[in-house]
Homo-oligomer: A and B are copies of this chain.
Amino acid sequence: MKLTVYLAGEIHSDWREELKNKSKQAGLDLHFVAPQTNHDRSDNVGEDILGEQPGKLYKDDAASDINNFRTAVLMQKADVVIALFGEQYKQWNTAMDASAAMTLNKPTILIRPESLIHPLKELSNKANVTVETVDQALDVLKYVYE
């Protein structure tokens, strides 16, 4: 049984690659999809495709049109969502994607460091499972196949 997993969250570390590799080693039949992880491309994609915009607000809005489109297409294909929060940045788009997933009843795993327990408490509470490490998230996925 193949499952498609949407990997929301932090794009400044290589946790997606780590998860994919370990999933492969474990022989799990998982297909991973994700947002654009090239930060510059993600910020510029609006102007890259639609041309120069008249200011930062409009540049950002054009980019997020296309980033949200991408997320919408891939999220509807996903059987499971994993959202990882790092210690830096606001990461409101990650919170948005995780919340949308939960509202659509997509089974969702939250990965967050201990330091973020308090600010993430409502999101963590709403998630199906909350873990602290990528390995633990993988353990949860493995459990589905046991």
Contact = CB atoms under 8 A, between A and B. Distances in A.
Counting every copy of the chain, the complex holds 8
Contacts of A36: 143, 146
Interface of A: 1, 3, 31, 33, 36, 38, 41, 45, 48-50, 54-58, 60-61, 63-74, 76-77, 79-80, 85, 89-93, 95-100, 102-105, 107, 109, 116-126, 128-131, 136, 139-140, 143-144, 146
Contact of A3 (B54, B73, B79, B103): B73
A128 B76 contact: no
B68 A122 contact: yes
A65 B129 contact: yes
A104 to B, nearest CB: 6
A69 B107 contact: yes
A140 B65 CA distance: 10
